[in-house]
């Protein structure tokens, strides 16, 4: 019976010995880091980086999926001189270490990976290393090969790696669902008022340009800016068409009704956990630096930074877009208005960052998001 178990271990390429690897800690770290990654092409790097730091794994190879083949992109266990970082070509570093996707079995978990990868210049894939086809919400990322050096991988380790790959794929599916929900909310609003078509997308791109010039670089913080900008006017879903679509200026009573849209939007979105980071912009994007805005009359830096950023770009886009009751300003006229509003209507620091954006970048956003072309002179 004992010999039968040994033979089964030989065939599957794993043993049942336990290791000291902190599996829950590794998985938490991977998922936490991926929450801040917006680009799918960086997902494999984050997984590789975390496994590289984990004790117990001596060999970690990350192959990116490129044009039907897996090409070595990052590696641990090939010697210090051979560890690559993102941006370096696996073909340049190890020209022959390429795996044809067609040669791999359809399963995402591949025991005995050495059957599919040839050694090159002393590279040795441990007999019991395993391979995982990595994907993120249905998007193929590549192949991850994990080995233990001079010992067999334990069944616990193999099961953990399989679970990790599944969790990464599931996180990608959830992310895609979030994005689809977000876009559906934006589309629902813009379908009611065709005069604002493309507005949410333009102000989102403008907001990100300003945010980066203010030193906001972390993916999670930029996502907060993006979600807030996309959903800033979601509360207008609760405004009657007779007011929202009125082709002339609003009466005082109508204007008081329109001013409720930030609070309506707040109530709509506050019940959706993954969009809570958008709430500061939704609720406070009509506050003014001098305290004369609404709904709360906040002043200066009492107003969240993302809302201060958005107030500038929202006003600029409104000024440079035709409305049923007025013609759009020119690009230069709108910039002058924004500059003049610094310190009264707008945060001076946000105004300065906005005015630093090159004209060419502003025009690219306008063309890409369907706005009228400007005469920028």
pTM of the predicted model as reported, rounded to 2 decimal places:
0.63
Residue, of 120 and 59, whose pLDDT is higher: 59
Question: Among 86-90, 94-98, 291-295, which range has the highest average pLDDT?
Answer: 291-295
6 has pLDDT over 80: no
32 has pLDDT over 50: yes
- Locate tokens 């266990």: which residue? 77
Among 129, 184, 170, CA closest to 35: 170
pLDDT digits (tens, 9 = 90+) for 200-244: 889 999 999 999 999 998 877 888 899 899 899 889 888 898 888
**Residue 328: what pLDDT?**
82
**Residue 150: what pLDDT?**
64
Nearest 5°: the CA angle 352, 358, 359 is 110
pLDDT digits (tens, 9 = 90+) for 74-91: 877 655 433 333 333 333
Average pLDDT over residues 112-128: 43
Contact 299, 291 (CB under 8 A): yes
- Show the DSSP H helices in the chain as ranges: 2-12, 23-34, 43-53, 90-93, 155-190, 199-213, 219-230, 241-244, 252-258, 261-269, 279-284, 305-319, 331-341, 348-355, 359-368
CA of residue 83 relative to chain centroid, distance: 27
163 has pLDDT over 90: no
Contact 338, 354 (CB under 8 A): yes
All structural domains of the chain: 2-175 (3.30.450.40), 188-368 (1.10.3210.10)
The pLDDT mean for the chain works out to 76
Sign of CA dihedral 79, 85, 90, 92: negative
Distance CA 357, CA 365 (A): 12
Distance CA 127, CA 36 (A): 35
**Residue 108: what pLDDT?**
53
């Amino acid at each position: 019976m004992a010999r039968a178990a040994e033979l089964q271990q030989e065939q599957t390429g794993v043993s049942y010995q336990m290791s000291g690897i902190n599996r829950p800690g590794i998985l938490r770290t991977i998922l936490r880091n991926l929450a801040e990654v917006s680009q799918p092409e960086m997902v494999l790097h984050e997984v590789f980086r975390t496994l590289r730091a984990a004790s117990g794994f001596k060999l970690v190879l990350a192959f990116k999926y490129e044009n039907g083949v897996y090409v070595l992109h990052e590696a641990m266990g090939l010697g210090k001189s051979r560890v690559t970082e993102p941006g370096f070509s696996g073909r340049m570093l190890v020209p022959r270490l390429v795996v044809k996707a067609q040669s791999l079995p359809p399963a995402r978990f591949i025991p005995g990976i050495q059957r599919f990868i040839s050694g090159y210049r002393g590279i040795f894939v441990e007999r019991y290393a395993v391979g995982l086809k990595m994907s993120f919400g249905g998007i193929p990322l590549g192949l991850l090969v994990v080995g233990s050096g001079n010992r067999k991988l334990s069944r616990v380790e193999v099961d953990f790696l399989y679970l990790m790959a599944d969790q990464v794929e599931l996180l990608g599916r959830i992310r895609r669902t979030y994005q689809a929900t977000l876009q559906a909310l934006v589309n629902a609003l813009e379908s009611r008022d065709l005069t604002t078509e493309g507005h949410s997308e333009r102000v989102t791109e403008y907001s990100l340009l300003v945010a980066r010039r203010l030193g906001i670089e972390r993916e999670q913080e930029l996502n907060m800016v993006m979600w807030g900008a996309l959903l800033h006017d979601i509360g207008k879903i609760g405004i009657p068409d007779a007011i929202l679509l009125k082709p002339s200026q609003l009466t005082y009573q109508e204007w008081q009704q329109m001013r409720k849209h930030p609070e309506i939007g707040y109530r709509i979105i506050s019940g959706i956990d993954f969009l809570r980071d958008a709430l500061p912009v939704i609720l406070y994007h009509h506050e003014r630096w001098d305290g004369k805005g609404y709904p709360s009359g906040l002043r200066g830096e009492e107003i969240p930074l993302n809302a201060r950023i958005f107030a500038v770009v929202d006003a600029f886009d409104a000024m440079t877009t035709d409305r049923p009751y007025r013609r759009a300003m020119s690009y230069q006229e709108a910039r002058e208005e924004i500059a003049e509003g610094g310190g009264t209507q707008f945060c001076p620091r946000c105004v300065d960052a906005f005015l630093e954006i090159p004209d060419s970048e502003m025009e690219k956003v306008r063309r890409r998001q369907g706005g009228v072309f400007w005469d920028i002179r």
